[in-house]
Amino acid sequence: MKIQVLCIALFCSFIACTPKTQNINFIEEEVSIDLPKMIDPVVKTDSEWKSELNEQEYYVIREKGTERSFSGDLWDNKQAGIYTCRACQLPLFTSNTKFKSGTGWPSYYQPIKKEYIKEDTDHLLGYPRTEVMCARCEGHLGHVFPDGPEPTGLRYCINSVSLDFVDETTAN
């Protein structure tokens, strides 16, 4: 039994290791909307957030929860467009970087701009994971793992409830 627990712990540590770092070109020039040059923080009280977000959104975005896999409205969205933070509308990902991960959550191999994503390490499951948050409102989005496709090798595994989708035809 101790060997099994040790093997699981080693595997989890391997999966949670620091993502690959490469020189990648962010796709901000390919985005069909104006991107903010500066990000002014959005700071609100808990009561303000509760009045603006529904119960599930508040749980995931403000309390760092997770929606059930395959339950969100965007995990299998195949339309062209921009994915924004549901809480503050900062553009975060494009459909061009979305891929089918099989996890039941929307997955992307890179954000629009690295400055739009804030990272932190959490230990909520007993091992380190890299949490990703919106850089503007610090809303919880999901986690990033080092098992994604090229060119980055990253998988940004994001809760649907943390995102809004802007169709490419209405993005301008």
Question: 2-59 pLDDT, tens per residue?
Answer: 444 334 443 444 344 444 444 445 555 455 566 777 788 999 999 999 999 999 999 9
User: Strands 140-145, 155-158: parallel, antiparallel or unpaired by DSSP?
Assistant: antiparallel
Tell me which residue has tokens 């062209």.
80
Name which residue leads in pLDDT, 23 or 110. 110
**Mean pLDDT, the chain, integer:** 84
From 85, 134, 137, 157, active-site residue: 157
Say which DSSP state 20 is in.
P
In the three-class reduction of DSSP (H, G, I as helix; E, B as strand; rest coil), residue 57 is classed as helix
pTM comes to 0.79
Is 157 noted as a catalytic residue in this protein? yes
Distances (CA, A) of 153 to 15, 99, 127, 150: 13, 12, 21, 5
pLDDT for the residue numbered 147: 95
The single residue listed with the structure tokens 């500066």 is 38
pLDDT, residue 156, reads 98
Q: What is the pLDDT of residue 33?
A: 63
d(CA 61, CA 138): 8
